[in-house]
A and B are shown apart, each in its own frame.
Chain A
Amino acid sequence: MKLDDAAFRLKEFWDEFRKERNGLVGLGILAAAILAVFLEPLIIPYPEASSRWRDITYWQDNSKSAPPAWTNLFTARKSAVARTLQDARIQDRGPGEKVYTYTYDYDYNRAPYDLLVRGEGSGNIPLTVTVRRPDGVSVEIVRYVLQDLAGQTFRLSFSNEGRSNALEFLRKTERPENAAQIATMSYGVAEILFSKAEPDFVKGPKPLTGRYEIEVTAGFTDPRASIEHMEIVVVGRVSGILGTDSMKRDIFSGVVAGMKWALMIGLLTSIVSVLVGVFYGITAAYFGGRVDSVMMLIFDYFISLPVLPILIVFSAVYKPSIWTIIAALILFFWVGPVKTVRSMALQIKEETYIEAAKALGAGHGRIIFRHMAPLLIPYSFASMALAVPGAIVYESSVSLLGLGDATIVSWGQILHDALGSGAVLSGLWWWVVPPGLLIAVMGMTFAFLGFAMDKILHPKLKTR
Chain B
Amino acid sequence: MSNGIDGDVILRVDDLKKYFTPHQGFLQSFGKVRKVVRAVDGVSFEIRRGEIFGLIGESGSGKTTTGKLVMKLIDPTSGRILFNGRDVTSIGQAETKEYRRQVQMIFQDPYASMNPRFKIRDVLEEPLEIHRISGNRAERDTRVVRALTEVKLTPPEDFMGRFPHMLSGGQRQRVATARTLILNPAMLVADEPVSMIDLSTRAEILHMMKDVQRDLGLTYLYITHDLSTARYFTDRIAVMYLGRIVEMGRADDIIDHPAHPYTRALIEAVPEPVTGKVDEVKELPISGEIPSPSNIPPGCRFHTRCPFAKEECRAEAEPELMDLGGGHYHACRRWKEIG
A binding-site residues for B, Cβ under 8 Å: 2, 4-5, 8, 351-353, 355-363, 366, 370-371, 374-375, 457-460, 464
Contacts of B167 in A (CB 8 A): none
A317 to chain B, nearest CB (A): 41
Q: A375 near B179 (CB under 8 angstroms)?
A: no
Measured CB to CB, the closest approach of chain B to A131, in angstroms, equals: 74
Flag if A351 contacts B112 (CB, 8 Å).
yes
* Inter-subunit contact A356/B114 (CB<8 Å): yes
Which of B126-134, B276-284, B292-300 has 4 or more CB atoms under 8 Å from chain A? B126-134
B101 contacts which chain A residues (CB < 8 A)? 361
Chain B contacts for A356, CB-based, 8 A: 105, 107, 113-114, 176
Mark B97-141 against chain A: 1 for CB-CB distance below 8 A, else 0.
100110011010100111111000000001100110001110000
Q: Is the CB of A362 within 8 A of B107?
A: no
Q: Which residues of A contact B136 (CB under 8 A)?
A: 2, 4
| Cβ-based interface call for B73 (8 A) | yes
Chain A residue nearest in CB terms to B101: A361
Q: Are B100 and A359 in contact (CB under 8 A)?
A: yes
- How many residues on B have C-beta within 8 angstroms of the other chain's C-beta atoms? 30
Contact A362 B126 (CB under 8 A): yes
Contact assessment for B163 and A459 in the assembled complex, using a CB-CB cutoff below 8 Å: yes
Q: Tell me if B71 is interfacial: C-beta within 8 Å of chain A.
A: yes
Q: How far is the CA of A371 from the CA of B114 in the complex (A)?
A: 10
Q: Which of A2, A353, A366, A371 is the one whose CB lies under 8 Å from B112?
A: A353
Residues of B near A352 (CB, < 8 A) are: 107, 109, 112-113
With a cutoff of 8 Å between Cβ atoms, the chain A residues found around residue B107 in the complex are 352, 355-356
A360 pairs with B130, CB closer than 8 A: yes
Given contacts A8-B137, A360-B100, A360-B179, contact A460 B73 (CB under 8 A): no
Instruction: Give 26 A-B contacts (CB < 8 Å), ordered by A residue.
Output: A2-B135, A2-B136, A8-B137, A351-B112, A352-B107, A352-B112, A352-B113, A353-B115, A355-B107, A356-B176, A358-B73, A359-B73, A359-B105, A360-B100, A360-B104, A360-B127, A361-B97, A361-B100, A361-B130, A363-B93, A363-B97, A363-B130, A457-B117, A459-B116, A459-B163, A460-B116
| Any A CB within 8 A of the CB of B165 | yes
Question: Known contacts A4-B137, A356-B107, A358-B73; is A458 also within 8 Å of B131 by CB?
Answer: no
User: Interface digits, B306-319 against A, CB 8 Å rule (1 contact, 0 not)?
Assistant: 00000000000000
Report the separation of the CA atoms of residues A370 and B130 in the bound assembly, to the nearest whole angstrom.
Answer: 11
7 closest Cβ pairs, A-B complex: A352-B112, A361-B100, A359-B105, A361-B97, A356-B113, A353-B115, A352-B113
Question: In the assembly, what is the distance between CA of A371 and CA of B176, in Å?
Answer: 17
Chain A residues with CB under 8 A of B179: 360
Residues in chain A near residue B137, CB distance under 8 A: 2, 4-5, 8
Which residues in A have their C-beta under 8 angstroms from that of B126? 357, 360, 362, 370
Chain B residues within 8 Å of A358, by CB:
73
Interchain nearest-CB distance for A261 vs B (Å): 36
Pick from A8, A361, A460: contact of B127, CB under 8 Å: A361
Q: Is A458 in contact with B117, judged by CB distance below 8 angstroms?
A: yes
Whose C-beta in chain B lies nearest to the C-beta of A351?
Answer: B112
- Within 8 Å CB of B93, what residues of A? 363
In the bound complex, how far is the Cα of B176 from the Cα of A57, in angstroms?
A: 74
Using CB atoms, name the residue of chain B closest to A1: B129
Given A8-B137, A457-B117, A459-B165, residue A359 in contact with residue B71 (CB < 8 A) = yes
Contact with A along B62-80 (1 / 0, CB 8 A): 0000000001010000000
Minimum distance in angstroms from B206 CB to a CB of chain A = 20
* Cα of A457 to Cα of B119 in the assembled complex, Å: 11
Apart from A359-B71, A457-B117: 6 A-B pairs, beta carbons within 8 A: A353-B115, A356-B176, A360-B183, A361-B101, A374-B117, A459-B163
A366–B127 Cα gap in the complex (Å)?
Answer: 11
Give chain A nearest CB distance to B220 CB in angstroms. Answer: 15
In the assembled complex, which residues on chain B have CB atoms less than 8 Å from the CB atom of A458? 117
How distant is B132 from chain A, measured CB to nearest CB, in Å?
11
* Chain B residue with the shortest CB-CB distance to A374: B117
In the complex, what residues of B have CB within 8 A of residue A374's CB?
A: 117
Residue of B nearest to A359 (CB): B105
Contact A353 B113, CB 8 Å, known A359-B73, A359-B104: yes
Q: What's the minimum C-beta distance from B20 to chain A, rounded to whole angstroms?
A: 15
The CA of A360 and the CA of B105, in the complex, are separated in Å by 8
Residue of A nearest to B104 (CB): A359
A5 CB, min distance to chain B CBs, angstroms: 7
What separation, in Å, do the CA atoms of A390 and B166 have in the docked complex? 40
Q: Chain A contacts of B130 at CB under 8 A?
A: 360-363, 366
B73 touches which one: A4, A8, A355, A371 (CB < 8 A)? A355
How distant is the Cα of A360 from the Cα of B100 in the complex, in angstroms? 6
CA of A459 to CA of B101 in the docked complex: distance in angstroms? 30
**Highest count of chain A CB atoms <10 Å: which of B115, B126, B163:** B115
Residue of B93, B101, B113, B163 contacting most chain A CB atoms (<10 Å): B113
B104 CB contacts on chain A under 8 angstroms: 359-360
CB neighbours (8 Å) of A2 from chain B are 135-137
